[in-house]
A and B are shown apart, each in its own frame.
Chain A
Amino acid sequence: MAKGSTRARAGQGSWWAGLPGLAYLVALVLAPLVIIVIFSFLSRAKLGVGVKWEFTIQPYIELFYRESLSGERTFDPTYLQIFFNSVLYSLITAVVCLVLSVPIALWIATRPPKWRTLLVFLVTIPFWTSLLIRTYAFVIILNDNGPINGALQGLGIIGEPISMLYTPFATTVGLVYSFLPFMILPIYASAERFDFRLAEAAYDLGATKLTVLRRIVLPAVRPGVIAGFILVFIPALGSYLAPELLGGGKTSMIANVIAAQFGASRNWPFGAALSVMVLVIVMLALVAFAVIARRSSKRGSQQSLESLL
């Protein structure tokens, strides 16, 4: 072993072992991305399918302006509104998931180890069925003659059924349902490592349950919260099924508009431009998360007596 200094240590891995995965990423992630960016600067094909190889920034103009038949450009906030809605729904989804997940994750993390494994396994059970089928299930659950309305009417709480399906509410319910495990699991991973003796110490020093949660537990699970927020917010931004099936087209999110451009509207360059915009928003969001995360940890470490009090 002494003279084997140039040899790789066991478990260190070799660079070539990563090649297949790298090739896969380049071929199936990077290449489509490049294609989308290129398409977004090309002209619309005659019949709408595909693109015409002629440079233009027309698709990006279409994002903000409407062109009348006479060629006159007027500002059109339709797509900005959709972007805004998408970000809003995704934020709401992430926040609701967060609020629901923290108690669940902490509860699981405080069970005996044997139970924890089982409970984490239960959290992942929804993944066994396709998201499409699970989203359709919510169509049944939320519709006017569904079990919720049935129960409320049966109990005499409401007379007429509440229209829940095809509303922003239904979209949000579907989104929260779809992404909840992605919030629970990273927070649980942080909470599991939490030393609950710290909570005991805080109680001992006179802290109530709420204070212990706010000042001791939450700071400790912060990495999980940040990871969960990213894992929920970003996919939620591009989600297609929940707004399509539960929002009934009324609460379109970006993904639905993009799908329409490549499908019914047959405007590939514009669809590509919308996709690029999503990419930009996601990157901006990631940068924002990184800044927030760094700032809050820096604030923690640099706090001295003066700034604390």
Chain B
Amino acid sequence: MSTEAVPALRVQGVSKAFATPEGGEVRALDDVSLDVADGSFMVLLGPSGCGKTTLLRCIAGLESPDAGEITLRGERIDTVPVWKRRVNTVFQSYALFPHMTVTQNIAFGLQMDHLPKDEIARKVEQSLDLVKLTGLGGRRPHQLSGGQQQRVALARALAKEPEVLLLDEPLSALDLKLRRGMQLELKRLQQETHITFILVTHDQDEAMSMGDQVAVFNEGRIVQVGAPRDVYLRPRTKFVADFIGEANILDLTTEDTGAALASWGPIPTEAWASDSPAVGGTSRTVAVRPEDVLLSAEGNGRFSIVDATFIGGDLHAVVQVGDARLSARQPAAHSSGLTTGGRCEVTFRPGSLRIVEA
């Protein structure tokens, strides 16, 4: 991977704990390390409370880590005060200054750099053009729609030409249609400006469609980093398999005859993904995507169909396998005879079964 070059941003062994009101302690970040390649689009993905926003705030300088190092192009920044870091943030709440116009909002950051007035004016116009808000500089934030406010927040951060742009769930307040548009827009901005983007989201579709790289967070740790397709196809843990896309998680037993799924029986070797961790390790958990579970209608099949629903062109079926339930999804055209209450036979698409860490 090209990340072998000097990364734009390197996070090494960062930990951060917060005191809870009850007097306890929450480990928001637990020994997190991450390299972000220069000019790439990194997405930090995870459920709420997993620590991804805390990491973003540590990079921005709004929180200071308890342990670890953060370096920007080889220089340590975790000891540098927030206002001196060449890193800017687009906040979830946008945090536009309500008493200032759009122009003043964007100019604010540039004034902090003591740029000459005409250069500030030029950069403000440029940023407004970049986010397609030309001519709206005189408006106040409350006179703009949510999507426009979002663009102002982006323009304000981009105008500073940061080394790294941090985006904290920037699209979560927008409705679905706007969000799709802004996802493409963000991708375009990143490619046009060549600025390194780090975006935090809990929306896996957003992560998949925007990121060059995705870092999946769970309980204060990064559980997997990789290209979106890689992470989807080769989840390392049960959490990743389940969180990104859908997955059936099954228990594995090792019998004399080889690997077997509980209440399913021996598994043909060709069902395993060639790069899946070896059977017989400590892990006894298997993940398989619903689209890799193949059903065929057989009157005397071993399994009963709990539910079969046609959604669009697909059949979504749930099959009772012992005490587990398997989700399956396949094109409706290949699904004749599969009805709720019916019986079927189950096979796995070759190369689809994968052992994951519990």
Measured between alpha carbons, how far is A201 from B100 in the docked complex, in Å? 14
* B140 adjacent to A308 (CB under 8 Å): no
Give the Cβ gap from A295 to chain B, nearest Cβ, in Å.
15
Give the Cβ gap from B224 to chain A, nearest Cβ, in Å.
29
Give the Cβ gap from B93 to chain A, nearest Cβ, in Å.
6
* B117 adjacent to A309 (CB under 8 Å): yes
Give the Cβ gap from A308 to chain B, nearest Cβ, in Å.
6
In the complex, A213 has a CB within 8 A of chain B: no
Contacts of A201 in B (CB 8 A): 89, 91, 95-97
Measured between alpha carbons, how far is A197 from B57 in the docked complex, in Å? 12
In the complex, B113 has a CB within 8 A of chain A: yes
Contacts of A211 in B (CB 8 A): 112
* B82 adjacent to A204 (CB under 8 Å): yes
If A197-B93, A198-B97, A216-B97 touch, whether A206 touches B109 (CB-CB below 8 Å) is yes
* A200 adjacent to B104 (CB under 8 Å): no
In the complex, B127 has a CB within 8 A of chain A: no
Contacts of A215 in B (CB 8 A): 108
Task: Give chain A's interface secondary structure class.
Answer: helix
The interface bits of chain B over 101-122 (1 if a CB of A lies within 8 angstroms of the residue's CB, else 0) are 1011001110011000100110
Give the Cβ gap from A195 to chain B, nearest Cβ, in Å.
7
Measured between alpha carbons, how far is A304 from B109 in the docked complex, in Å? 17
Give the Cβ gap from A293 to chain B, nearest Cβ, in Å.
13
Our pick among B98, B100, B120 for the contact of A309 (Cβ within 8 Å) is B120
* A309 adjacent to B121 (CB under 8 Å): yes
Contacts of B103 in A (CB 8 A): 304-305, 308
- Report which residue of A200, A219, A300, A304 has the largest number of chain B beta carbons within 10 angstroms of its beta carbon: A200
Our pick among A205, A216, A304 for the contact of B156 (Cβ within 8 Å) is A205
If A203-B83, A207-B83, A305-B137 touch, whether A219 touches B99 (CB-CB below 8 Å) is yes
In the complex, A220 has a CB within 8 A of chain B: yes
Our pick among A207, A220, A303 for the contact of B104 (Cβ within 8 Å) is A303
If A304-B137, A305-B137 touch, whether A220 touches B160 (CB-CB below 8 Å) is no
* B101 adjacent to A304 (CB under 8 Å): yes
Give the Cβ gap from B170 to chain A, nearest Cβ, in Å.
13
Nearest-neighbor residue (CB-CB) of A196 within chain B: B95
Our pick among B61, B104, B160 for the contact of A308 (Cβ within 8 Å) is B104
- Report which residue of A207, A208, A304, A305 has the largest number of chain B beta carbons within 10 angstroms of its beta carbon: A305
Give the Cβ gap from A69 to chain B, nearest Cβ, in Å.
62
Contacts of B107 in A (CB 8 A): 305, 308-309
The interface bits of chain A over 32-56 (1 if a CB of B lies within 8 angstroms of the residue's CB, else 0) are 0000000000000000000000000
* A205 adjacent to B62 (CB under 8 Å): no
Interface residues of A in 218-247 (CB under 8 A from B): 219-220
In the complex, B293 has a CB within 8 A of chain A: no
Give the Cβ gap from A300 to chain B, nearest Cβ, in Å.
5
* B91 adjacent to A200 (CB under 8 Å): yes
Contacts of B62 in A (CB 8 A): 200, 203-204
Measured between alpha carbons, how far is A308 from B100 in the docked complex, in Å? 10
Nearest-neighbor residue (CB-CB) of A200 within chain B: B62
Contacts of B104 in A (CB 8 A): 303, 308
In the complex, B124 has a CB within 8 A of chain A: yes
In the complex, B138 has a CB within 8 A of chain A: yes
Give the Cβ gap from A278 to chain B, nearest Cβ, in Å.
35
Give the Cβ gap from B169 to chain A, nearest Cβ, in Å.
13
* A220 adjacent to B89 (CB under 8 Å): no
Contacts of B317 in A (CB 8 A): none
In the complex, B204 has a CB within 8 A of chain A: no
Give the Cβ gap from A93 to chain B, nearest Cβ, in Å.
28
Interface residues of A in 164-218 (CB under 8 A from B): 195, 197-198, 200-208, 211, 215-216
Give the Cβ gap from A232 to chain B, nearest Cβ, in Å.
24
In the complex, A74 has a CB within 8 A of chain B: no
Identify the 4 closest CB pairs spanning chains A and B, nearest first.
A206-B112, A205-B109, A201-B95, A309-B117
Q: Could you name 25 residue pairs across A and B whose Cβ atoms are closer than 8 Å?
A: A195-B95, A198-B95, A201-B97, A203-B61, A203-B62, A204-B62, A204-B83, A205-B108, A205-B112, A206-B84, A206-B160, A207-B83, A207-B108, A211-B112, A215-B108, A216-B97, A300-B100, A303-B104, A304-B101, A304-B103, A305-B124, A305-B138, A308-B104, A308-B107, A309-B117
Enumerate chain B interface residues (CB-CB to A < 8 A).
21, 60-62, 82-84, 88-89, 91, 93, 95-101, 103-104, 107-109, 112-113, 117, 120-121, 124, 137-138, 140, 156-157, 160
